[in-house]
């Protein structure tokens, strides 16, 4: 008989909704061992197939069971450079854990175990690097794709320089995902370990402005572009220019990167009392929960489809609900109301059509069903389109009509020696997919370099 | 860290800083801007590039003390450093394709038209320049402009130097007397709007520089959005300079005040610290 799945402790919802402490407290060693002991060590581990980077899950879980925590971490990092981060933000419920043979009884808590192993030696121990290849690689963008590519390139023996436009490395891990879901000390530890491996990280460097792609091609043997997501999407409805309307990117960056939640922060942020967040992805949940933590009385998520279609992780939706976030589903904004600043939102009720051939149900407005809701802040969390800066300085770099960089299965772009991965090459996706793209490109770069 | 090589007070509450920032200086062009943070807790604030020297690796900015960050900057001197300095951001504006250009700078806007005046002079198409300020001591870059301009028209609100009146008075007169291919007007939003209205009937191409609220300056946050000809544009990646006849100035003026109250509060707190300390 398999024991029930262990659940890590969570901070009390009434307390946590007003602070930025991490919500999920993670397993202690005893719980981790107990949870690891639930694993049946399948001969044909489907969990591993569910992992975008193919981590040897049964092996690392077994090491946790045997209390070889450092060894468990090493097994993970053979395939995944950022275990503490992925253990926290990966959608395990749709990846590894969804494939677990125990899923009907409660899958093994692979994510929580990965996090435990990752945190056991935060940032990891120094790894022995091979002899230098005498080749130089540039990584553009220090987010999940770039950090992962950089770590692997170092392990292959390249000299690696990482260029980051912001003043702090980490990309979305630093500016996007809030402290209460991913403490910044975890991100810093991963970046510090990359530096310890020998990566040179150049912050305040905008590639496409200071250096063009051609400049980099002159200076480096290989280039990996992990420039991430770009311009926020707005709805193109009247009133979006009003003060009090911002993108989730702006709102979250002010808080996460610029620390605007601190009382003495010099960076301003709007602290609405009655906040509407439009959209229902993870970023929308992050924005809604952040607005609550900044002191809102009421936070409402407005989403045009129904609960089943909400793209956010189930856990994030549940945590948001526990913290008092309300959901107004099958509703879509048509106009932001107000004179100079936001005073309300006019919305319309939606219904879903019958499933089409792709089994998708489209939301369509219900005629004459408009109504108004009061609010003093509107945050648009509708996704992003690729950043145009690099492309504008590199006309040879082929992109699709939206500006997403075209790559082959190895991440190679239309430009010789230039690879790309992550949101810049896929459109908005997850941290783990970006990481795996970085890994794949690093492997392809190494293969190309050693073939010559 | 980015070292302040030189600091010079140009007027009351206006300082010129020459900052060592090789990456920003490398490809800087007129019309572009930088973002800096004073210290490790600093906010990211954009400043237009007033001059640049790729050989020395320096960028010059003009800073008017108007808020918390600029107050902190005003306390730094040559030899001190700022924590972060990133650029060049935004797109350059190429005025060299025009034969006859009128540059209009109001107040600190003189900083933005300065590199254009210098460049147009260098290529043998010196521009006419109107510089405006409240009073004589606030007229910026007078010496440089008198060197670079074909004709220089200083204007002061109080008549303490040059003609008494607004820059628009000079612009209205000049466009009657001369055929300009383009006008670049840089200054406070009401001034740029007024210049655009003066040139609109004559349909003279008029470019203005939007100093919008920004965070990253690289097209990520979207708070610098402006409406240009009915379309949403981002000052950081699509601008900062746009066709002044197409800008929705009403919206831009409103948006500039988005965080004004919080900024004021913080400025006061910082000023309070001076008194206490």
Question: B267: nearest CA in chain A?
Answer: A266
Of B84, B215, B232, nearest to A253 by CB-CB distance is B215
DSSP tally for chain B: helices H, then strands E: 9, 16
**Ramachandran region, residue A362 (left: φ > 0; alpha: ψ -120 to 50; beta: rest):** beta
User: What is the token pair recorded at B88?
Assistant: 């060049």
Q: What is the mean pLDDT of residues A114-126?
A: 89
Other CB atoms within a 10 A radius of the CB of residue A270 amount to 24
The answer to whether the CB atoms of A209 and B27 lie below 8 A apart is yes
What pTM value is reported for the model?
A: 0.93
Q: Which CATH number fits domain A13-120: 1.10.3370.10, 3.40.718.10, 1.10.540.10, 1.10.1060.10?
A: 1.10.1060.10
Q: What pLDDT score was predicted for residue A30?
A: 97
- SS3 at position B133: strand
CATH architecture of A136-230+385-451: 3-Layer(bba) Sandwich (3.50)
CATH architecture of B2-89: Beta Barrel (2.40)
Comparing C-alpha atoms, which of A429, A431, A441, A404 is closest to residue A144? A431
Specify whether the CB–CB gap between B187 and B211 falls below 8 A: no
Q: What pLDDT score was predicted for residue B273?
A: 54
CATH architecture of A234-382: 3-Layer(bba) Sandwich (3.50)
Average pLDDT, chain B: 91
Q: What pLDDT score was predicted for residue B270?
A: 67
Give the whole-angstrom CA distance, residue A294 versus residue A288: 10
A-to-B residue pairs, Cβ atoms closer than 8 angstroms:
118
Does the CB of B83 have a partner CB in chain A at under 8 Å? yes
Give the side-chain half-sphere CA count within 13 A for A67. 2
Give the whole-angstrom CA distance, residue B36 versus residue B239: 18
Best mutation target among B219, B234, B235 (most A Cβ atoms within 10 Å) is: B219
Instruction: Please tell me the least confidently modeled range out of A173-177, B79-83, B85-89, B211-215.
Output: B211-215
B274 band by pLDDT with thresholds 50, 70 and 90 = very low
b/e map of B71-104 (b: 16 or more CB within 10 Å)?
A: bbbbebeeeeebebbbbbbbbbbebeebeebbbb
B275: pLDDT strictly greater than 50: no
The answer to whether the CB atoms of A206 and B44 lie below 8 A apart is no
Give the whole-angstrom CA distance, residue B150 versus residue B101: 10
| Chain A: residues touching B (Cβ < 8 Å) | 165-167, 175, 202-206, 209-212, 229-232, 234, 236, 240-243, 246-247, 249-250, 253-254, 258-259, 264-270, 340, 384, 387-389
Q: What pLDDT score was predicted for residue A17?
A: 95
Could you read off the pLDDT of A38-88 as tens digits, one per residue? 999 999 999 999 999 999 999 999 999 999 999 999 999 999 989 999 999
Give the whole-angstrom CA distance, residue A119 versus residue A189: 10
DSSP A347-382: EEEEEEPPP-TTS---EEEPTT--EEEE-SEEEE--
Q: What is the mean pLDDT of residues A27-46?
A: 96
A139: pLDDT strictly greater than 50: yes
Residue spans of the domains in chain A: they are: 13-120, 136-230+385-451, 234-382
Comparing C-alpha atoms, which of A171, A164, A178, A230 is closest to residue A427? A230
Q: For chain B, where are the E strands, in sequence order?
A: 2-11, 14-20, 33-37, 45-53, 58-64, 81-82, 84-89, 101-106, 128-133, 151-156, 163-164, 182-186, 205-209, 225-228, 231-234, 241-243
Specify whether the CB–CB gap between B140 and B133 falls below 8 A: yes
Q: What pLDDT score was predicted for residue B112?
A: 86
B233: pLDDT strictly greater than 90: yes
Q: Which residues does B29 contact at the CB level (< 8 Å), separation at least 6? A: B88, B92, B115
DSSP tally for chain A: helices H, then strands E: 18, 16
Does the CB of B135 have a partner CB in chain A at under 8 Å? no
Comparing C-alpha atoms, which of B221, B144, B157 is closest to residue B187? B157
**Residue % of chain A over a pLDDT of 70:** 100
A340: pLDDT strictly greater than 90: no
Task: Examine domains A136-230+385-451 and A234-382 and report if their fold is the same.
Answer: yes
Partners of B234 in the β-ladder: B225
Specify whether the CB–CB gap between A108 and A5 falls below 8 A: yes
Instruction: Looking at the complex, report in whole angstroms how far the Cα of residue A341 sits from the nearest Cα belonging to chain B.
Output: 9
The answer to whether the CB atoms of B225 and A205 lie below 8 A apart is no
Question: B231: nearest CA in chain A?
Answer: A236
Comparing C-alpha atoms, which of A306, A318, A304, A301 is closest to residue A375? A301
The answer to whether the CB atoms of A249 and B222 lie below 8 A apart is yes
The owner of tokens 């436009």 is A165
Q: What are the two backbone dihedrals, phi and then psi, of residue A74, each rounded to the nearest 5 degrees?
A: -60, -40
Specify whether the CB–CB gap between B203 and B240 falls below 8 A: no
Give the whole-angstrom CA distance, residue B105 versus residue B128: 11
**Ramachandran region, residue B13 (left: φ > 0; alpha: ψ -120 to 50; beta: rest):** left
Q: What pLDDT score was predicted for residue A385?
A: 86
The answer to whether the CB atoms of A387 and B216 lie below 8 A apart is no
Give the whole-angstrom CA distance, residue B15 versus residue B5: 13
B204 band by pLDDT with thresholds 50, 70 and 90 = very high
Other CB atoms within a 10 A radius of the CB of residue A11 amount to 16
Comparing C-alpha atoms, which of A232, A234, A383, A387 is closest to residue A312? A383
Q: What is the dihedral of CA A312, A316, A317, A321, to 10 degrees?
A: -160
User: What is the token pair recorded at A244?
Assistant: 């009090």
B160 band by pLDDT with thresholds 50, 70 and 90 = very high
User: What is the token pair recorded at B31?
Assistant: 């019309």
Partners of A243 in the β-ladder: A341
Does the CB of B150 have a partner CB in chain A at under 8 Å? no
Q: What is the mean pLDDT of residues B244-257?
A: 92
Best mutation target among B88, B89, B221, B261 (most A Cβ atoms within 10 Å) is: B221
| B chain contacts of residue A140, beta-carbon cutoff 8 Å | none
Give the whole-angstrom CA distance, residue B212 versus residue B231: 16
Q: What is the mean pLDDT of residues B180-197?
A: 95
E strand or H helix that includes residue B25: helix B22-26
Give the whole-angstrom CA distance, residue A207 versus residue A35: 45
Q: What pLDDT score was predicted for residue B117?
A: 95
Other CB atoms within a 10 A radius of the CB of residue A210 amount to 24
Instruction: Looking at the complex, report in whole angstroms how far the Cα of residue B270 sits from the nearest Cα belonging to chain A.
Output: 10
**In this structure, are strands A377-380 and A371-374 parallel, antiparallel, or unpaired?**
unpaired
Q: What are the two backbone dihedrals, phi and then psi, of residue A70, each rounded to the nearest 5 degrees?
A: -65, -40
Could you read off the pLDDT of A295-338 as tens digits, one per residue? 999 999 999 999 999 999 999 999 999 999 999 999 999 999 99
Give the whole-angstrom CA distance, residue A361 versus residue A309: 9
Residue spans of the domains in chain B: they are: 2-89, 101-209
Fold classification of B101-209 is Rossmann fold (3.40.50)
DSSP state letter for A276: E
Comparing C-alpha atoms, which of B192, B6, B174, B194 is closest to residue B112? B192
b/e map of B219-249 (b: 16 or more CB within 10 Å)?
A: bbbbbbbbbbeeeebbbbbbbbbbebbbbeb
| B chain contacts of residue A232, beta-carbon cutoff 8 Å | 220-222
Q: What pLDDT score was predicted for residue A356?
A: 80
Q: What pLDDT score was predicted for residue A140?
A: 97
Instruction: Looking at the complex, report in whole angstroms how far the Cα of residue A364 sits from the nearest Cα belonging to chain B.
Output: 25
The owner of tokens 């397993």 is A27
């Amino acid at each position: 008989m398999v024991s029930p799945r262990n659940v890590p402790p969570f901070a009390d919802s009434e307390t946590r909704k007003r602070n930025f402490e991490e919500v999920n407290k993670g397993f202690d060693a005893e719980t981790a061992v107990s949870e690891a002991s639930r694993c049946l060590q399948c001969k044909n581990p489907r969990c591993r197939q569910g992992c975008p980077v193919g981590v040897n899950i049964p092996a690392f879980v077994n090491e946790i069971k045997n209390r070889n925590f450092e060894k468990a971490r090493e097994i993970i990092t053979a395939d995944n450079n950022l275990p503490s981060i992925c253990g926290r933000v990966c959608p395990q419920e749709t990846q590894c854990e969804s494939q677990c043979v125990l899923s009907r009884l409660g899958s093994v808590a692979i994510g929580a175990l990965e996090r435990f192993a990752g945190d056991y030696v935060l940032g990891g121990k120094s790894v022995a690097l091979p002899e230098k290849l005498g080749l130089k690689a540039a990584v553009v963008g220090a987010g999940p794709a770039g950090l992962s590519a950089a770590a692997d390139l170092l392990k292959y023996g390249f000299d690696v320089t990482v260029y980051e436009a912001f003043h702090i490395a980490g990309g979305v891990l630093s500016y996007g995902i809030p402290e209460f879901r991913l403490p910044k000390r975890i991100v810093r530890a991963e970046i510090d370990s990359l530096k310890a491996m020998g990566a040179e990280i150049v912050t305040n460097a905008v590639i496409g402005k200071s250096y063009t792609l051609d400049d980099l091609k002159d200076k480096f043997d290989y280039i990996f572009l992990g420039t991430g997501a770009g311009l926020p999407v707005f709805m193109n409805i009247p009133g979006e220019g009003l003060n009090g309307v911002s993108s989730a990117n702006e709102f979250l960056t002010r808080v996460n990167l610029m620390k605007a939640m601190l009382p003495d922060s010099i960076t301003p942020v709007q602290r609405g009392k009655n906040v509407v967040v439009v959209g229902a992805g993870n970023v929308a949940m992050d924005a809604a929960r952040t607005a609550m933590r900044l002191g809102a009385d009421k936070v409402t998520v407005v989403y045009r489809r129904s609960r089943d279609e909400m793209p956010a992780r189930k856990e994030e939706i549940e945590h948001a609900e526990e913290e008092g976030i309300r959901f107004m589903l099958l509703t879509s904004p048509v106009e932001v109301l107000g004179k100079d600043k936001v005073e309300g939102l006019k919305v319309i009720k939606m219904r879903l059509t019958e499933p089409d051939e792709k089994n998708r149900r489209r939301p369509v407005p219900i005629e004459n069903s408009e109504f108004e809701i009061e609010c003093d802040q509107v945050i648009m969390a509708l996704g992003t389109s690729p950043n145009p800066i690099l492309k504008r300085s590199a006309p040879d770099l082929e992109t699709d009509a939206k500006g997403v960089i075209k790559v082959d299965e190895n991440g190679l772009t239309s430009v010789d020696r230039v690879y790309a991965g992550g949101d810049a090459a896929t459109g908005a996706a997850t941290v783990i997919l970006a990481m795996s793209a970085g890994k794949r490109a690093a492997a392809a770069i190494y293969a190309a370099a050693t073939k010559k | 860290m980015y070292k302040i090589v030189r600091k010079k007070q140009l007027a009351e509450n206006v300082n010129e800083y020459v900052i060592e920032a090789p990456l920003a200086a490398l490809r800087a062009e007129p019309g572009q801007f930088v973002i800096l943070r004073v210290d490790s807790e600093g906010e990211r604030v954009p400043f237009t590039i007033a001059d640049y020297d790729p050989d020395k690796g320096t960028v010059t900015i003009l800073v008017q003390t108007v808020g918390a960050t600029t107050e902190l900057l005003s306390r730094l001197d040559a030899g001190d450093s700022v924590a972060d300095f990133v650029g060049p951001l935004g797109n350059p504006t190429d005025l060299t394709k025009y034969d006859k250009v009128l540059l209009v700078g109001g107040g600190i806007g003189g900083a933005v038209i300065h590199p254009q005046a210098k460049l147009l002079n260098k290529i043998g198409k010196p521009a006419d320049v109107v510089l405006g300020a409240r009073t004589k001591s606030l007229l910026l870059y007078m010496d440089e402009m008198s060197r670079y301009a074909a004709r220089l028209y200083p204007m002061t609100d109080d008549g303490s130097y040059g003609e008494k009146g607004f820059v628009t008075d000079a612009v209205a007169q000049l466009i009657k007397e001369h055929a300009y291919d383009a006008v670049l007007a840089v200054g406070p939003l009401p001034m740029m709007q007024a210049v655009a209205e003066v040139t609109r009937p004559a349909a003279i191409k008029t470019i203005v520089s939007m100093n919008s609220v920004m965070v990253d300056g690289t097209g990520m946050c979207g708070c610098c959005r402006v409406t240009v000809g009915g379309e949403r544009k981002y000052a950081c990646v699509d601008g900062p300079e746009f066709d002044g006849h197409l800008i929705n100035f009403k919206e831009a003026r409103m948006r500039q005040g988005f965080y004004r109250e919080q900024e004021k509060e913080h400025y006061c707190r910082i000023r309070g610290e001076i008194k206490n300390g």
